[in-house]
Structure 1
Amino acid sequence: MGFETDVKRILEYLPVTNQKPDNELAENTKDFGSKDKYRQTVMFTAIMTPIIERLARTYLRRPASVYIGAIGKPTERVEQVIIMCSENEKRNKLLEILERGIEPPIIIFVNQKKAVDVLAKGLSKKGYNPCTLHGGKGQESRDLALAQLKKGEKDILVATDVAGRGIDIKDVSMVLNYDMAKTIQDYTHRIGRTGRAGKAGKAVTFLTKEDSATFYELKEVILESPVSVCPPELINHPDAQHKPGTVVTKRNKTAILCA
């Protein structure tokens, strides 16, 4: 996220004379009661991308890696529901879902900052009690929104992908993708806000023709879920048959599919 240069600069200033050796001697931990002890570096990350893995290998000595869940995949406890619709149908479908009754808190994701405020204002007029979170808000406003949601003062969080990573709100009953995420990785992070700590969750996604670049990967993710059903409209959609950018050969003719 742009912090790599700063992280490297900090690590360069840390003492290296007491680093653990990168061999079997590292297991012989020195007496922590004495002045002579090894420096210990511990790293936590929600995702281990190749870039982060290279950074970790550079500074860690004989690290032990602990993984929780399947790497890069949604938890099996989240039921994924896909609703195929047009852009103009989204608002009514959202209200239909909310009118059936919700168990707060829930999170609604949209892709644009302006859309966050517009949607939250509309929900307020309908009698709901939303708060908002996006990149245009200062840290104080962000902290306030999260605090209100956690205390039960607000029942809905309308947010951009800023809320998709690095936050933990207990007992989120549902994540609703009003706008489908731009990438399947962001989608996975979004729906990971529910179904946490051993509990079940639900993720509803409004899918339009403008989201066709994600159809194939989204279909594959849902088909792998033991608690989700992929709708025929997505399974059979032409854009869900091949991953964008792959080469498909048919009847001795080659075509390149572009995203």
Structure 2
Amino acid sequence: MGIDHRINANIAAMGLTRPTPIQEQGIPAVVQGRDVLGLAQTGTGKTAAFGLPMLTRLIRYGKKPEPRTCRALILAPTRELATQIAANIDAYAEGTPIRSFRVVGGASINVQTERLSRGVDVLIATPGRLIDLIERRAVDLRETTYLVLDEADQMLDIGFIHALRRIAKMLPRERQTLLFSATMPKLMSELADTYLTDPVRVAVNPPGQAAKKIEQGVHFVTQGDKATLLAEYLARHPGELAMVFGRTKHGSDKLARLLEKWGFAVAAIHGNKSQGQRERALEAFRRGDTQVLVATDVAARGLDIPEVAHVYNYDLPNVPENYVHRIGRTARAGRDGRAVAFCAPAELGELRAIEKAMKAPIPVIGGEVPVAPVAPGRGQSGRGSMGGKPMDGMANKRPARRASRRPKSQRG
């Protein structure tokens, strides 16, 4: 496919021997120098789709970048995704002259400034920190000939549109631009029209559809009983990695503390955690030192941990598309996975919106479907789990009574 032989050797050693659909369709276009608009869900191999051909072209430069410049810029919406991309780029480029560097918030900007003073081939950045470095004159984008916007729809969702427009003005007009997104809202179309020139459009795994290897289910339960129900599910699979998604930072911290009190090895990750805390939590989770990771949507994209066997939507997301991104943390690298959504009576609207976005219902695996939305805590108890029966003894343990007395404590 036109990839440099050293990079080919690296990806073969990583076990990547057959291209995914987006790689098969996208790599030839990038090698040819075309702009690309890629529509694909997370986990479909986008990083290799833009990274392998881009690195091949950069190797052909044959000389080091100038101080305070970067030849390729990859923008990502979150620190976690930027970190994942950087790790992949380094693995692909091992043994080549290419040098990459990651800049994100929460890390020392002075260290980042010093490193950029020598120039880098590939800069992976979050928009906010990149703007900070530009304002400090730590990096100059006038020599940047490759621009990649990864998970561009999420960048728009979290308000980076003004930062993107500002960054675009600093880039040379003659460049190759690759834009990847899981969805295509109206603002995304306008962004594509602005950034891309006669792009090749590559669309795989239509937006809104989950990976086929994910076994999905919804369990109806009152808000106050969610923590006990989650404990029941986690107890069924000791030693297996599980991610639990909540809606808020405060609620995620509370849930993590409660699960830890009940004897689970758990960590929490969200936007209020420092970069060091987030990286330590993720590394412990990857090693299996903690089996449960409680997270907000900051971890819904970009985390590639193949051992994650279960995803629990403790709180249903307000943005329907985020459901697919969340459950995409499992069933990776050809493995199977299970995703269970806990739906309180007040969340019926979110559930219907998710099903509408996916164009398919989620199978009911427990609890009783409320006839109509009611106030939180007033619906059916829904304590039954798979098959409608609670695990032996769990419903009568002390944690269940405490959770029932304080229904607000676990609210997202």
TM-score by length of 1: 0.73
The answer to whether structure 1 residue 167 and structure 2 residue 167 are counterparts is no
One-letter amino acid of the counterpart of residue 178, structure 2:
V
- Deviation per residue, 1:164-209 (Å, 9 max, x gap): 1233222310101112222322222211211223322111111111
2:318 aligns with 182
- How many residue pairs are counted as aligned between the two chains? 215
CA distance in 1, matches of 2:278, 2:161: 24
Counterpart of 1:194 (choices 330, 333, 338) is: 330
Kept in 2, the 8 Å contact 1:177–1:205? The answer is yes
Structure 1 letter corresponding to 2:316: M
Whether 1:6 aligns to 2:158 is no
* 1:156, distance to aligned residue in structure 2 (A): 0.8
The farther-off stretch of 107-116 and 48-57 is 48-57
Matches within 5 A, 1:124-163: 124-163=260-299
1:108·1:159 contact (CA, 8 Å) conserved in 2?
A: yes
2:243 equivalent in structure 1: 107
State which of 110, 117, 135 in structure 1 corresponds to 2:253. Answer: 117
Any residues of structure 2 matched to 1:1-259 within 5 Å, and which? 1-16=158-173, 19=174, 39-220=175-356, 224=360, 229-230=363-364, 233-234=368-369, 237-238=371-372
- Which one-letter code corresponds to 1:2 in the other structure? G
Report if the CA contact (8 A) 1:106-1:172 is conserved: yes
Moved more, 41-50 or 186-195: 41-50
**Which secondary structure state, in structure 1, belongs to the residue aligned with residue 200 of structure 2?**
coil
Q: Which has the higher helix share?
A: 2
Q: 1:139 and 1:167, CA in 2 relative to 1: closer, same or farther beyond 3 A? A: same
CA distance in 1, matches of 2:278, 2:244: 15
Amino acid at match of 1:133: I
Q: Deviations over 1:32-52 (max 9, x none)?
A: xxxxxxx32222334333212
Q: Please state how far the C-alpha of 1:103 moved relative to its aligned partner.
A: 4.8
Unaligned segments of structure 2, at least 5 residues = 1-157, 374-412
Q: What CA distance in whole angstroms lies between the structure 2 residues aligned with 1:197 and 1:69?
A: 16
Superposition deviation, residue 215 in structure 1: 3.6
Kindly report the root-mean-square deviation, in angstroms, between the aligned alpha carbons of the 2 structures: 2.4
* SS of 1:108 mapped into structure 2: strand
> Does the 8 A contact of 2:219 with 2:364 survive in 1?
no
Q: Identity rate of aligned residues, in percent?
A: 34
Structure 2: distance between partners of 1:74 and 1:220: 13
Check the 8 A contact 1:177/1:206 in 2, yes or no. yes
Q: Is this contact kept in 2: 1:222–1:229, CA < 8 A?
A: no
Aligned to 1:29: none
For the residue of structure 2 that corresponds to 1:66, the secondary structure is strand
CA deviations on 1:68-92 (whole Å, 9 max, x unpaired) are 3121222222111111111222122
Q: Please tell me whether the aligned partners of residues 75 and 195 of structure 1 are also in contact (alpha carbons under 8 angstroms).
A: yes
What's the offset of the Cα at 1:220? 4.7
**Structure 1 unpaired stretches of 5+:** 20-38, 240-259
Q: For 2:320 and 2:238, how far apart are their aligned partners in 1?
A: 26
Q: SS of 2:279's equivalent? A: helix
Deviations 1:42-68 (A, max 9, x none): 223343332123212212112122233
* Contact 2:182/2:207, CA 8 A, preserved across alignment: no
TM-score normalized by the length of structure 2: 0.48
Does structure 2 retain, via aligned residues, the 8 Å contact 1:116–1:159? Answer: yes
Q: How has the CA–CA distance of structure 1 residues 196 and 63 changed in structure 2, closer, same or farther, with 3 Å as cutoff? A: same
SS in 2 for 1:42: strand
Whole-angstrom distance in 2 between the partners of 1:42 and 1:127: 46
1:121-154 Cα offsets, whole Å, 9 max, x none, are: 2222222211111121122211221122112221
My pick for the range that moved more, 115-124 or 97-106, is: 97-106
Partner of 1:31: none
Report deviation, 1:155. 1.0
Q: 1:35 aligns to what?
A: none
